[in-house]
Structure 1
Amino acid sequence: MNAYGTLLKKLIRFTNIKLTNLAEIVGYDTSYISKWCNKGKLPAAKAAPNVNKCLADVFAREIVAQEDATLFAAEFNASGPYDESSISSTIFQLLKDAYKRSYEDTAENPNMSGLTAPRMLLWQLDIKNFFVTELPQMLKCLNEPCHILCTMDICGFLPDLSYEARHTNHYNAPVHIKMGINPERRGVDHSYIPKLYYFLNNYNDINFDFYNNSCMDYMNLFIVKNCVAVQCALDKDYRISIAHIITDISQVNSLYQKINSEFTLSRLMIHSSDSEELFYNGYRTEFYAHNSFQIMVTRGFEFLLPAQINPRLIQAARNQGFDESMAQLVAHLGITWEEIFEKGEIDFYLLKTNLLRYITDGTIYFADVVYHMSVEERKEHIQHVLELVQKNPKIRFFIIDDECIPNSEYLFQMSVYNNKRKLFLKNMEHYTTQCGPSFYTIQNESLISEISQYFDTLKSESFCNVYQSEDVFRFYEKYGTMIDRMLSIE
């Protein structure tokens, strides 16, 4: 805790004044004063003298009223006289000195400087460092749920962000960001869809909601509620050329309130969700009411399972502490997929590394249930796949050689489920870290169409190999012995 927070907390305890009364007199919300006391935050530099003077007057009045002037002098090493005016002057000087020490300490700490130091960033390196390094570190210091607004399109103003070294921050509290999507930019940038997908994968521990930003893109604002705001100037290529860092909390929250109302009026495009929401709003039921699917699996392979696995998955749901509704969901999904596999048109996109990992460790993710397939169950699974593709030639596999894609180990954390009318992403990393959303649902038809088209273009890429029904049999004839040997090792 900094010197200012320690002193302020000590004065509050000494006078036994209620935080709500203090907040009302000083003119700040109790949450701000609590953060000054407990979380290393400081009043804005311009407001600090008035805040400290008001605090000093309040504490001095309480000390005199409680006849604790002599005790105050002993506790805080103060000298007389002991009238209200003198005590107020003493406390004001104590607060002023503590604020100065804390401000200087914070300015020397790059992880916290943005919380208290307003400034102008003029160079690309400084701007990139703020968004990629400094801002995440600032968020990491917060201990309460964090709400952020960004009117700008992330894929436009930081085009290379998704390809940087992996985002590895672990926040103390959930982070929820409302962000803009620019429909016009999507139309001219053919790499937009993979950029957006890679971005969500890289930041899979953050909850994003994306909105159509046609009415607010020009505002160029990034706002962290109760913390900091960034006003940006963009060049002709939509890159940030100047960033003005605003740290006055009253200004930050006024901006937040105004811009949040703009988001409320904008169309939601991508929504962070969980399994319960998907179930109760009928999204899952509607999704499976079709017969044409594009599915990209990034962890395990929970499809084309033999029927005898279903009761074990239901029992696993109960064993893992889910309520009976999850067991019913697992049972329902098992039956639904059996029906779809018989006649449905399904394109599976599988990562080569994930396929090998599944063969060796056998972990699948069925709904929210994590299940470890035994060696015998995996063998049964393989045989069942061979039988199904023979019966239904409309099941195809597209194997992506992800070793040919730079940084693929963290760019493919989310599985994609698409029936070309409804589409959702499943955040596989959530089941390991319990951070970020379980799912993202795509709420916009044109965006679903663009993603569907992107999957179609993947088929012609050099790193993607297609396996029709007869190809699957030839593949197994060629590599079946190796697969059996890999399984026998376990």
Structure 2
Amino acid sequence: MISDGYASTLKRLITFTQAKFISLADVVGYDVSYVNKWSNGTKLPSSRYVERINEEMGQYFAELITKQKKEAKFFKTFPISENTDDLGFEIGQYLCAAYRTTLNQNRVPKGKENRPSIQVVTGHHDTSAFLSDLLQKGIQSLESDGELLVLGEFCTLYKTGFWKYFEGLELQHRLTIRVGLDLDKIESNFDDLIAVYRTLDNFLDIDFVFYDIQDTSNANLIILKGAFVVQYALDTQPRFKMCTYIFDESLVGDIYEKFSFNGAEKKPLMSTVSSLGLEELGYRTAFYATTKFFFYLTIGFEFLLPHEVFDHISETVSPEQAFAIQRLCVTWEEILNASEITFIMPTTSLLRYVESGYIYLTDIEYRLTAEERKAHIKSIFEGLEKNPNLTTGVLLPTVSDGMYTGKDLSFYSNYKTGFLKKNKRNIHNDADSFYVISSNRLHSILLNAFQNMKNQPSYRQYDLEALKKKYETYKPLIERTLSLSK
């Protein structure tokens, strides 16, 4: 059980439950001045009676938590298992652990009273369980945007199961994770590249920022800004075999400053932005100023849209956005008539689009009506007829959970640079919607990987006639699906 000193632990419980000092004093049978001194650290309860005092305070705090219906928030905030049958007893034990921590701190040799608070955990299972619990509760209790520095290599940590520790988090605030990435590793090992894509696709509520592994110093540090530092050791498996947990506030701040990525010399390989910009001279305009593109689409099919869809979108946005949307309509029409473009969609994403009509067009979410989706199909056929350099392909569902079954992260490339787009409908906090790839090498690695989908047994490519034939085969099912979505 992770515990701070007695005074800070008691103060946190009092603050969380909004307990009154006089009521707490009545519960334990002491004068209110004693309780005040316990919470401000000027005095400790007598060791002879501390277990009874903690037990009675634990029961009182538990009653308040239950009465205020704050159980869920409590378990996210304090390092106590929610699978307990007696919350009062567990809080009492938590206070006892904090009492022992304070006693141990007070026993340091003379002249070393300011020794920082640390805890060492060893053994694979204990270390993994400790890290999982620490990260879950530390991140879940954030009261504002958080930043996690992971000075280690992304794929190595993936093999330890580290990224699974973030599953189930319900993030109310933004969380940015800055982590090292070994480009040699993901270029030579396709499974490692799949691990990167899969993780980004699974955690849309988290903003990952990648740095070259050389810039992370290989320090094996995990730092949650303002909360804690963990230094870890791995065995050859790799598995966690030991970690040192540091929770002294001043030391955590000092370590963060020394290892943060704030220096201009540490430029990210890939970072996040909330928007690619609809403005005339923005990133998006520069991206489309070429004649060759590759698109892996998982969030509907926002290309070759009928004019009336652009008109309807323009009616739902501000005048400035409406002008940009109309300009985009003209720009894309010119591009789609003259460029060489490869479109690839997972069939699962294609079916979802047919059912929902949802697209994330530039920075605007829109849901096509059933009639607009019918018109869109017709518009796609017309576009393919006008430009034979438009290539369309789909990826059939596969048993393996690889990058080809990702449903919420799209990839866009103009063969010089690229970006990834999250499905905004499945983002539950204020996380950014786009990953902008700054490294030419990382972009090339990703582009090659997505292009190689064409060599997969699950890939099917269709020319115009084959696509029309396929549509005729499934037309009754498509029209029935559209009729149900009205």
TM-score bracket, normalised by the shorter chain, equals 0.7 to 0.9
Give the TM-score taking structure 1 as reference length: 0.74
Query: 1: CA distance between counterparts of 2:348 and 2:405?
Result: 12
The match for 1:463 is 458
Q: Which of 11, 32, 39 lines up with 1:76 in the alignment?
A: 32
Amino acid at match of 1:204: L
Cα gap change, 1:160 to 1:436, in 2 (>3 Å): farther
Deviation at 1:370, TM superposition (A): 1.9
**Higher alpha-carbon deviation: 407-416 or 250-259:** 407-416
**Higher alpha-carbon deviation: 210-219 or 230-239:** 230-239
Query: 2: CA distance between counterparts of 1:89 and 1:165?
Result: 33
The match for 2:270 is 270
| 1:56-455 mapped onto 2 (5 Å cutoff) | 76=32, 92-93=42-43, 101=54, 109-110=80-81, 118-159=118-159, 161=161, 167-236=167-236, 239-260=239-260, 264-275=264-275, 282-318=282-318, 324-402=319-397, 404-406=399-401, 411-429=406-424, 433-455=428-450
Deviation at 1:226, TM superposition (A): 1.6
Amino acid at match of 1:229: V
Pairwise CA RMSD of aligned residues?
3.9
3-state SS of the aligned residue for 1:371?
strand
Query: 1: CA distance between counterparts of 2:32 and 2:273?
Result: 52
3-state SS of the aligned residue for 1:219?
coil
3-state SS of the aligned residue for 2:190?
coil
Query: 1: CA distance between counterparts of 2:270 and 2:282?
Result: 17
Structure 1 residues 72-114: Cα deviation after superposition (integer angstroms, max 9, x where no partner): xx972569xxxxxxx9999722589999959x97986158999
Deviation at 1:484, TM superposition (A): 2.2
Gaps of 5+ in 2: 18-29, 59-76, 83-90, 102-116
**Higher alpha-carbon deviation: 124-133 or 364-373:** 124-133
Cα gap change, 1:312 to 1:137, in 2 (>3 Å): same
Query: 2: CA distance between counterparts of 1:426 and 1:436?
Result: 12
The match for 2:87 is none
Deviation at 1:259, TM superposition (A): 0.4
Structure 1 residues 351-396: Cα deviation after superposition (integer angstroms, max 9, x where no partner): 2122112222222221222222112111111011111112212212
Deviation at 1:188, TM superposition (A): 3.1
Deviation at 1:452, TM superposition (A): 0.8
Deviation at 1:423, TM superposition (A): 1.0
Cα gap change, 1:236 to 1:217, in 2 (>3 Å): farther
3-state SS of the aligned residue for 1:412?
coil
Cα gap change, 1:225 to 1:166, in 2 (>3 Å): closer
Query: 1: CA distance between counterparts of 2:288 and 2:432?
Result: 21
Give yes or no for contact 1:364–1:371 (8 Å, CA) kept in 2.
yes
Give yes or no for contact 1:416–1:426 (8 Å, CA) kept in 2.
yes
Amino acid at match of 2:194: P
3-state SS of the aligned residue for 2:316?
helix
Cα gap change, 1:313 to 1:375, in 2 (>3 Å): same
Amino acid at match of 1:455: F
3-state SS of the aligned residue for 1:185?
helix
Structure 1 residues 93-141: Cα deviation after superposition (integer angstroms, max 9, x where no partner): 2589999959x97986158999998433333333433444541232101
Deviation at 1:212, TM superposition (A): 1.3
The match for 2:104 is none
Deviation at 1:399, TM superposition (A): 1.0
% identity of equivalent residues: 26
3-state SS of the aligned residue for 2:214?
coil
Deviation at 1:270, TM superposition (A): 0.6
**Higher alpha-carbon deviation: 449-458 or 326-335:** 326-335
Structure 1 residues 198-238: Cα deviation after superposition (integer angstroms, max 9, x where no partner): 11122211122211121434211111112111112234465
Cα gap change, 1:411 to 1:343, in 2 (>3 Å): same
Query: 2: CA distance between counterparts of 1:290 and 1:436?
Result: 30
Give the TM-score taking structure 2 as reference length: 0.75
Give yes or no for contact 1:316–1:371 (8 Å, CA) kept in 2.
no
Deviation at 1:271, TM superposition (A): 0.7
Deviation at 1:152, TM superposition (A): 0.9
Query: 2: CA distance between counterparts of 1:234 and 1:258?
Result: 23
Give yes or no for contact 2:187–2:193 (8 Å, CA) kept in 1.
no
Give yes or no for contact 1:183–1:214 (8 Å, CA) kept in 2.
no
The match for 1:56 is none
Query: 2: CA distance between counterparts of 1:439 and 1:340?
Result: 22
Cα gap change, 1:191 to 1:75, in 2 (>3 Å): same
Query: 2: CA distance between counterparts of 1:484 and 1:89?
Result: 68
Deviation at 1:340, TM superposition (A): 1.2
Query: 2: CA distance between counterparts of 1:404 and 1:482?
Result: 24
The match for 2:111 is none
The match for 1:473 is 468
The match for 2:27 is none
Cα gap change, 1:370 to 1:151, in 2 (>3 Å): same
Query: 2: CA distance between counterparts of 1:470 and 1:89?
Result: 78
3-state SS of the aligned residue for 1:226?
coil
Query: 2: CA distance between counterparts of 1:425 and 1:392?
Result: 26
